[in-house]
Amino acid sequence: MVMGVVVVVAILVALAMERKQTVFFLIELQLSVLVYKKNVRRV
């Protein structure tokens, strides 16, 4: 689960760097953190 989250975050970072959309990146990052926390709670 953790590796999957890391891969997704890495992809989002790469897309954000290319498009330079800071707001979009922050929103996606927050969603990723929420999903990560939920997965940790399940474990």
Cβ–Cβ under 8 Å, residues 43 and 23: no
Question: How far is it, in rounded angstroms, from Cα 32 to Cα 9?
Answer: 7
List Cβ neighbours of 16 (8 Å cut-off, separation of 6 or more): 22, 24, 25, 28
* pLDDT band with cut points at 50, 70 and 90 for residue 25: confident
The percent helix, strand, coil of the chain (3-state, each to 5) is 90, 0, 10
Q: What is the pLDDT of residue 43?
A: 62
What pTM was computed for the model? Answer: 0.40
**Which phi and psi (to 5°) does residue 21 adopt?**
-105, 90
| For the chain, domain boundaries | 2-42
What CA–CA distance (Å, rounded) separates 26 from 29?
5
Mean pLDDT (the chain, rounded): 78
